[in-house]
Amino acid sequence: MAFERGHRGNVNNRSMRKLPLSVLLLLPIVCEPAFVPPRPVPPVAALGELLVLTTNSATTRYIDSQSRYAGLEYDLIEMFAQDLGVRVRYLDRQPLNQVLPALRHNAAHLAAAGLAITSERLDDFEFGPAYQMVQPVIAYNTDSPAPRALKDLVGKRIEVVKGSSGVEQLHLLRKRFPKLRWREVPEGDSEGLLSRLSEGKTDLVVTESHSLDVVRNFYPNLARAFPIGDPEPLAWVFPKTGDPLVMNRAREFFLRVINDGTLRQLMERYYGHVQRLNQMDIANFLGRMRSVLPHYRIIFKRAQEPTGIDWRLLAALGFQESHWEPAAVSPTGVRGLMMLTNETADRMGVTDRLDPHQAIRAGARYLMELKETLPARIQEPDRTWLALAAYNIGYGHLEDARRLAQRLGLNPDLWVDVKRTLPLLSRYEYYSTLKHGFCRGGEALVLTENTRNYYDILSRFEEPHVPGFTLFANTEEGDSDVAAATP
């Protein structure tokens, strides 16, 4: 990214380009107002609430698989408002290109919409500390040849979200390639464009690296060709004459969440697993989701009833374990759709591990038992991810990994830290000092991260099960999803 002006008068273009993220985080965010906007929004203290411009997207704010609001921007804003002691009022602006014009007219105290710090935007707005680095990239459909150089973009049908930083990068490229053309689409984010790319309705899409990482799990024929600009810092955006209290408190807030590990924890939650699956993994899963899952969907839903565990998470775990093959057998002797050991099957009352009804019910109960065994202080979603790891290696080995995390100065209650110690359980210098000895902890890491990805995909394509409904199955023709309300 080329900064044409410093953030303050004593910071020039070249020096800003060389600044590392750690320095960008500390950039001051208050400067002299450039103009007097019409009808400015009242200060937070006077209004009693924080007005935030945002968009509805997977990288900002959305409704998750549990019908709750989620997203990196959402979580950060909620924590910031709690610090301020005020409630939040979100002003969703669709498409993205409506966000900054609204902020320019002081419609809100800030914009939290995954917006990059760019040279053009520095002319009109103030920015908070950077919280994430992304890069504008070219996405292509793998059914067609990949572009290999910038000159290959000329003559292609290119789409980009109107108002995104990718538009600025394309304008810079056109100085080198005057015949370069593109279409600016008014969307909230690039997912709609990437869907069109997957369907062959356009040739290429300019998007941000993190957005493509998330969306490619739903479209296995998408891939990254190459970046078209330098890495860009994302930050909250403030109007030039914004509330100085809010801007200064935002700087303090980000310094705190960076130093205490909260930001790292949130980044793990939303992006820590998204690059685990390759194109063949995703294509295979989507294919079996359509052809195989319908035979077992109702059993997974029934297993949710007594355990409270989302049936889609259980199905994701079942796929990771056996690809939904009820007769699966591993070299170590675990068997069935949920890959139960003899010991676990006996404890769960299973008489036939190859019976998918028994296996799925037992797998769900076992996962629930593991979640309940973990210390009460461990919060979601870490509680679920740690329980999934224990499902693979056993609770004792998970405790070893947690103890090792504590020894190494990490947090034993956070998945982002425990997943660093799991692979160490196979190394003598570590496992020889732990209670339960050698373990292939790396396998538990892979199981958990892959299950998270499959769960994300199922949450997108499959409806949640509402408890209190009676599920019926047609024993002649296989399981059915027919549901009727109980009296």
Annotated catalytic residues are 321
Q: Residue 89 is encoded by which pair of tokens?
A: 């009022």
Q: What is the CA radius of gyration of the chain?
A: 25
Q: Identity (one letter) of the amino acid at 210?
A: H
Burial of residue 484, with CB atoms counted within 10 A of its CB: 0-12 exposed, 13-18 middle, 19 or more buried:
exposed
Q: Residue 406 is encoded by which pair of tokens?
A: 């504590």
Q: CA 158, 161, 164, 166: dihedral to nearest 10 degrees?
A: -10
Distances (CA, A) of 413 to 98, 367, 385, 434: 41, 17, 11, 18
* DSSP structure class, residue 220: T
For 474, list phi and psi in degrees, rounded to 5.
-90, 105
For 126, list phi and psi in degrees, rounded to 5.
-105, 150
**Cβ proximity of 135 and 230 under 8 Å:** yes
* DSSP structure class, residue 474: B
Going by DSSP bridges, is the β-strand pair 62-63/483-485 parallel, antiparallel, or unpaired? unpaired
Q: CA 65, 269, 190, 454: dihedral to nearest 10 degrees?
A: -50
* DSSP structure class, residue 166: H
- Stated length of the chain: 487
Distances (CA, A) of 476 to 218, 355, 361, 480: 33, 17, 21, 10
Distance of CA 18 to the CA centre of its chain: 28
State how far the Cα of 292 lies from the Cα of 38, in Å rounded to an integer: 59
CA quadruple 47, 48, 50, 51: dihedral sign: negative
Distance of CA 115 to the CA centre of its chain: 17
State how far the Cα of 346 lies from the Cα of 353, in Å rounded to an integer: 10
